[in-house]
């Protein structure tokens, strides 16, 4: 019954079915698994004699009289009904709803729910929720046996096209009355434990029993809600577990071997001692690489924790084993910077590094591709140009993806396809909250680099209103006088927006001509040509440019140790992890650094929350959790293709504890292959479609 298309349900028809389909509601199950948006307590009958103006009340009574009245306003008609119970009578008016004359009839039993007002000398309901009681209303029978829209805790649905909350309520009531109690339950009884059965939960979510806590209902926190959310999470997590298992069944053609030669090669390029945190992470990665199954690992660490060198050492191990390495970064600036760093570090090795970005000339690109294909190039650094069809490797053994959450899951898969079951190492720019890591990266193993490299100076973070700009400039000048450098960041909502670009350019002119005429200021933005950008960045890295006025193109990865000031204009407009990333550009050298958040009124509540969070902590793991709370999961990653599931009832922030429960339950249930069989079958046919993600296998 649940899989029946709504179109064929009595009272739906093709027009409404089309409206439903537009929001993804096609079957009976789709409709039943949409939670009401909220609930109203319309239970508790008030005797008509006790009604008070200004209060909301439910009354039951018999229709005394009804009819349409014309008013003095031309064309304006009023439907009016008078209802009586044992204690008195009350009027209910419905402006401009003359059709109700065909609904209400004298002597009917009706329920009215609404706000009481004094109007034209008497107490009345205006536009009350109403219901004609069809069953026999015996004096002491509970009203919620016979009413749907009133006299009980009532579900309020989001309107779907022209399908009102009332129509949905009637339809769902009807469907539930036809639904058997033994509908199939994808959650095994053992797993579900004390939570209600599927049928029970679906009923209680739409038509809660009298006395249910309305606050709990509105918070989706009743057992019925939690059970259905758990079901969704359980299925999702089970799919992830299966996907991971399938990956584990794959075998690399040739696992890497770590011998003295590889160790020596790694030691030769290392410019400093690894921190303990880096050592732990590197050991986990290299252990994976030596296994017969391909690695799927996520490397997390705060901004500046030193993920790049760890990845590079892993790359050396792969290259010592005769394998090629692809290193993908989300922006051209970052790819260029990685390329320069890596080339410098590998200078004294026998390995050859190439760069592959969208801005190469056709001839250079052809040459680069040929060298990658022949194996002359051992390591190639690039943007998503790397996933293009024309790129072929001789023997790709390790894929490193920096700042993963800018890329989609599909891009990860495409790059992997270019090798024969290569090892995959994914790195994130900022830490990812645990719940999101469990979902978007749930099929990856995780390494975390704890702590920062030694000698890092804590960064002082200040928030200042625009009115104190001069004071901020004075502070920047003091740093410049000491020989330090500064970033001034201007927000661009969209790098292609001309208006914004003009504002950034104007800011640059002011800085150069009026504020710091004796220093060199340079402008950097996303619309500049690649070689222009490269020149500006190189000049800043050399110290020839003192103040870098930039848009968010410097957000990730840029690394200039002598820069000690990060001044962020319009800080109220930036996202939290973006601010944290930007701040992470300073505090990288021996000198103490400052990050100034310059904000302009009006500041939204969210904007304020972000600025507060940033001034209160520099711990990226804490900031990530706060960011998730402020923004919600979708916005956290910013793209739909990010590996987040399309959820129907669960909310990754609100229900994060349930997600962890579901994870544990799924892992342990799938441990026993015989008993897990039905679940596995169900998932292989439904999972990808249901969650909008790449399939289970």
Phi, psi dihedrals of residue 669, rounded to the nearest 5°: -65, -40
DSSP collapsed to 3 states, 569-593: CCHHHCCHHHHHHHHCCCCCCCCCE
**Contact between 275 and ligand ADP per CB under 6 A:** yes
Q: Would you state the structure tokens that stand for residue 141, as one six-digit string?
A: 């029978």
Q: Site residues for ligand ADP, window 365-424 (CB under 6 A)?
A: none
Least Å distance, CB 400 to Mg ion, is 11
Kindly tell me which of 60 and 459 has the beta carbon lying closer to ligand ADP.
459
299 binds ligand ADP (CB under 6 A): no
Check the CA dihedral 628-633-637-643 and report its sign: positive
Which range, of 60-68, 360-368, 538-546, 555-563, touches Mg ion by CB under 5 A? 555-563
| 305 contributes a contact to ligand ADP by CB under 6 A | yes
* Among Mg ion, ligand ADP, none, residue 275 binds (CB under 5-8 Å by kind): ligand ADP
Q: Name residues contacting ligand ADP, limited to 200-239 (CB under 6 A).
A: none
Q: Which stretch binds ligand ADP (CB under 6 A): 250-258, 270-278, 565-573, 643-651?
A: 270-278
Q: Does 301 bind Mg ion (CB under 5 A)?
A: no
One symbol per residue from 48 to 87: x for binding ligand ADP (CB under 6 A), - otherwise; what is it? ----------------------------------------
Distance in Å, CB of 285 to ligand ADP, minimum: 14
What, of ligand ADP, Mg ion, none, does residue 309 touch, CB below 5 to 8 Å by kind? ligand ADP
Considering the rule CB under 5 A, would residue 557 count as an interface residue with Mg ion? yes
Residues touching ligand ADP, count (CB under 6 A): 16
Which one of the spans 199-207, 306-314, 344-352, 643-651 is the region binding ligand ADP (CB under 6 A)? 306-314
168 binds, among Mg ion, ligand ADP, none (CB under 5 to 8 A by kind): none
CA angle, 170 then 171 then 175, to 5°: 120
Q: Shortest gap between Cβ of 557 and Mg ion (angstroms)?
A: 4
CB 186 within 8 A of CB 679: yes
Q: Give the binding range for ligand ADP (CB under 6 A) out of 268-276, 359-367, 501-509, 653-661.
A: 268-276
Tell which positions 590-629 bind ligand ADP, by CB under 6 A: none
Distance CA 238, CA 152 (A): 38
Burial of 665 by CB count in 10 Å (0-12 exposed, 13-18 middle, 19+ buried)?
Answer: buried
The set of residues, in sequence order, having a beta carbon less than 8 Å from that of 96 and lying 6+ positions away, is: 76, 77, 78
CA-wise closest residue to 331 among 386, 392, 382, 276: 382
| Residue 20 CB neighbour total at 10 angstroms | 24
In this structure, the dihedral spanned by the alpha carbons of residues 278, 280, 283 and 289, taken in order and rounded to 10 degrees, is -80
Q: Does 431 bind Mg ion (CB under 5 A)?
A: no
Least Å from the CB of residue 304 to ligand ADP: 5
**What 8-state DSSP symbol labels residue 604?**
-
Stretch that binds ligand ADP, among 305-313, 568-576, 598-606, 637-645 (CB under 6 A): 305-313
Minimum CB separation from ligand ADP for residue 313, in Å? 11
394 vs 156, 375, 420, CA distance in Å?
A: 60, 5, 10
Binding mask 417-456 for ligand ADP (x = CB under 6 A): ------------------------------------x---
Query: Which residue has the CB atom at the shortest distance from ligand ADP?
Result: 306
User: Considering only residues 2, 9, 274, 315, which one is a binding residue for ligand ADP as defined by CB under 6 A?
Assistant: 274
330 binds Mg ion (CB under 5 A): no
For residue 481, the surrounding DSSP H or E stretch is helix 469-481
Please state, in angstroms and rounded to a whole number, the distance separating the CA atoms of residues 401 and 418.
Answer: 14
304 touches ligand ADP by CB under 6 A: yes
Token couple for 697? 């296998």
**How far, in Å, CA of 201 to CA of 5, rounded?**
21
Residue 543 interacts with which of ligand ADP, Mg ion, none, CB < 5 to 8 Å by class: none
Nearer to Mg ion, 81 or 426 (CB): 426
Q: 307 or 384: whose CB is closer to ligand ADP?
A: 307
Q: Going residue by residue from 508 to 547, which x/- string records binding to ligand ADP, judged by CB under 6 A?
A: ----------------------------------------
- Strands 296-301, 445-449: pairing is parallel
Give one DSSP letter per residue of 299-364, joined into a string. Answer: EEE-TTS-HHHHHHHHHHHHHHTT-EEEEE-SSHHHHHHHHHHHHHHGGGSS--EEEE-TTS-HHH
d(C-alpha 227, C-alpha 101), whole Å: 43
Considering just the CA atoms, what is the radius of gyration of the chain in Å?
A: 32
Residue 382 contacts which entry, ligand ADP, Mg ion, none (Cβ below 5-8 A, type-dependent): none
Which residues are at the interface with Mg ion (CB under 5 A)?
Answer: 557
In the complex, which residues of this chain contact ligand ADP (CB under 6 A)? 272-275, 278, 301, 303-309, 453, 559, 588
């Amino acid at each position: 019954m649940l899989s029946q298309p709504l179109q064929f349900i009595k009272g739906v028809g093709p027009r409404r079915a089309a409206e439903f389909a537009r929001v993804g509601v096609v079957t009976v199950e789709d409709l039943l698994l949409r939670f009401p948006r909220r609930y109203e307590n319309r239970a508790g009958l008030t005797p008509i004699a006790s009604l008070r103006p200004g209060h909301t009340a439910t009354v039951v009574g018999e229709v005394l009289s009804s009819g349409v009245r014309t008013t003095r306003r031309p064309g304006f008609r009023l439907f009016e009904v008078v209802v009586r119970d044992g204690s008195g009578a009350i009027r209910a008016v419905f402006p401009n709803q003359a059709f109700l004359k065909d609904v209400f009839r004298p002597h009917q039993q009706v329920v009215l729910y609404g706000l009481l007002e004094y109007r034209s000398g008497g107490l009345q309901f205006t536009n009350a929720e109403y219901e004609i009681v069809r069953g026999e209303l015996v004096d002491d029978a509970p009203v919620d046996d016979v009413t749907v829209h009133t006299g009980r805790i009532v579900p309020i649905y989001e309107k779907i096209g022209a399908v009102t909350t009332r129509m949905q309520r009637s339809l769902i009531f009807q469907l539930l009355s036809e639904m058997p109690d033994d509908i199939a339950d994808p959650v095994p009884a053992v797993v579900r434990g004390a939570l209600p059965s599927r049928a029970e939960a679906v009923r209680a979510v739409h038509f809660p029993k009298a006395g249910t806590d309305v606050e709990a209902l509105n918070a989706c926190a009743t057992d019925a809600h939690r059970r259905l959310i758990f079901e969704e999470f359980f299925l999702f997590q089970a799919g992830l577990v299966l996907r991971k298992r399938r990956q584990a069944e794959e075998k690399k053609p040739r696992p890497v071997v770590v011998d003295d030669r590889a160790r020596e090669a790694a030691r030769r390029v290392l410019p400093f001692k690894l921190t303990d945190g880096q050592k732990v992470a590197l050991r986990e990665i290299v252990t994976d690489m030596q296994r017969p199954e391909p690695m799927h690992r996520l490397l997390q660490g705060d901004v500046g924790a030193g993920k790049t060198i760890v990845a590079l050492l892993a790359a050396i191990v792969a290259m010592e084993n005769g394998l090629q390495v692809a290193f993908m970064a989300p922006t051209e600036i970052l790819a260029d910077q990685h390329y320069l760093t890596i080339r410098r570090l590998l200078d004294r090795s026998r390995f050859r590094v190439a760069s592959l970005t969208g801005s190469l000339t056709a001839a250079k690109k052809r040459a680069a591709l040929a060298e990658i294909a022949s194996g002359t190039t051992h390591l190639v650094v690039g943007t998503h140009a790397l996933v293009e069809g024309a790129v072929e490797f001789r023997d790709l053994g390790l894929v490193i993806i920096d700042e993963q959450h800018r890329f989609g899951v599909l891009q990860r898969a495409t790059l992997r396809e270019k090798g024969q079951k290569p090892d995959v190492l994914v790195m994130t720019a900022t830490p990812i909250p645990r719940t999101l890591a469990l979902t978007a990266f749930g099929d990856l193993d995780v390494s975390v680099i704890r702590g920062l490299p030694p000698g890092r100076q804590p960064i002082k973070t200040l928030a200042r209103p625009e009115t104190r700009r001069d004071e901020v400039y004075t502070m920047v000048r003091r740093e410049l006088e000491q020989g330090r450098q500064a970033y001034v960041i201007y927000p661009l909502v969209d790098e292609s927006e001309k208006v914004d670009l003009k504002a950034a350019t104007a800011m640059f002119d002011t800085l150069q001509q009026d504020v710091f005429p004796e220093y060199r200021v340079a402008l950097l933005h996303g619309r500049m040509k690649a070689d222009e950008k490269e020149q500006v960045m190189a000049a800043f890295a050399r110290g020839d440019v003192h103040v870098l006025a930039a848009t968010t193109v410097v957000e990730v990865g840029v690394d200039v140790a002598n820069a000690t000031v990060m001044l962020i204009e319009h800080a109220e407009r930036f996202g939290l992890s973006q601010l944290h990333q930007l701040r992470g550009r300073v505090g990288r050298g021996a000198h103490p650094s400052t990050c100034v958040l310059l904000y302009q009124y009006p500041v939204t509540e969210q904007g304020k929350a972000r600025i507060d969070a940033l001034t209160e902590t520099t711990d990226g793991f804490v900031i990530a959790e706060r960011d998730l709370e402020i923004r919600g999961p979708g916005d956290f990653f910013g793209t739909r293709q990010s590996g987040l599931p399309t959820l129907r009832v669960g909310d990754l922030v609100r229900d994060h504890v349930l997600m962890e429960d579901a994870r544990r339950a799924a892992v342990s249930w799938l441990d026993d292959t015989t008993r897990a069989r039905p679940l596995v079958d169900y998932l292989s046919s439904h999972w990808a479609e249901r969650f909008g993600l790449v399939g289970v296998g």
